[in-house]
Amino acid sequence: MVRTIRKKLFIALLLILAIALGYKSTPLVQGELGETEASDELTLVNKEHPLPPEYVPSDLVVPNVPFSFAEDHPKKQMRQEAAEALENLFAAAAKDGIHLVAVSGFRSYERQEAIFQRNASQMGEAEANRVSARPGESEHQTGLAMDVSAASVDYRLTEEFGSTEEGRWLQNNAARFGFIIRYPKEKEHVTGYQYEPWHLRYVGSSAAQTIANKALTLEEFLSQGNQRA
Ligand SMILES: [Zn+2]
């Protein structure tokens, strides 16, 4: 009798322990990334994998490249490694006579919230979610993304950029510097976003070259079992 009670107590204790441990490691939002995953250069952020609202990269810097605007703004920032890679990319482009400008990099959760709300009030939630991310679901919060443009399209973020000389140069050369065109043409069903020839995402050059050579998206690359080298 005593032995059964002890056994039951032991099982109850195990259960409590399991629940307590499970609770600790379970994020508040289902699928939400933890700090370590969020800061991985191969981190996958999309509609199924949001970043925690409080996530802000710890190594944001302003890359030394031309911007489409002059004033200081947090959106000039990228994470250190991505910023250096962007500087190298811009320098190589300039050598080829290609003049790019940076338009928008890091974006906090709060700023993304404001952008999404503004779009949703103008075009409705569904369309807003196709052209802009909900807060937490934007790659710009990782500090690994930069939107770029050129004078030939008046520094706008437009699909036409993809067929300009500058857009084509990016398509052919971004991977050498560790960047991918994150939302390619005809991959909306995979990425959840329309074609964005201007949105560069830093993933490191090994991943970027595989992704570019095989015409993959980051989702497809990671689902093939590729992890951080
Ligand atoms: Zn973007």
Which residues of the chain fall below pLDDT 50? 21-28, 229
Question: Rounded to the nearest whole angstrom, what is the distance from the C-alpha of residue 140 to the centroid of ligand 1?
Answer: 6
Q: Taking ligand 1, which is a single-atom ion, which protein residues have CB atoms under 5 Å away?
A: 147, 199
Predicted pLDDT of residue 27: 43
Q: Are 220 and 190 in contact (CB under 8 A)?
A: yes
- Distance from residue 25's CA to the centre of ligand 1 (Å): 31
CA of 145 to the centre of ligand 1 (A): 6
Amino acid at 145: A
pLDDT tens digits, 157-200: 999 999 999 999 999 999 999 999 999 999 999 998 999 999 99
Contact call for residues 61 and 51 (beta carbons, < 8 A): no
27, 36 contact by CB (below 8 A): no
CA of 116 to the centre of ligand 1 (A): 13
Catalytic residues: 196
- Cβ neighbors of 192 (< 8 A, separation 6 or more) are 46, 47, 130
pLDDT given at position 26: 41
User: Which of 81, 58, 65 lies closest to 208 in space, CA to CA?
Assistant: 81
The pTM of the full predicted model, rounded to 2 decimals, is: 0.84
Angstrom distance (rounded) from CA 34 to CA 27 = 7
Q: Tell me whether residue 79 is exposed, middle or buried, using C-beta atoms within 10 angstroms of its C-beta: 0 to 12, 13 to 18, 19 or more.
A: buried
User: 104: helix, coil or strand?
Assistant: strand
* SS3 call for 32: coil
**Residue 2, pLDDT score:** 56
Q: In 135-178, at which residue ranges do the beta strands (DSSP E only) sit?
A: 145-149
For each of the domains in the chain, give its residue range(s) and CATH number, in order of start. Answer: 28-223 (3.30.1380.10)
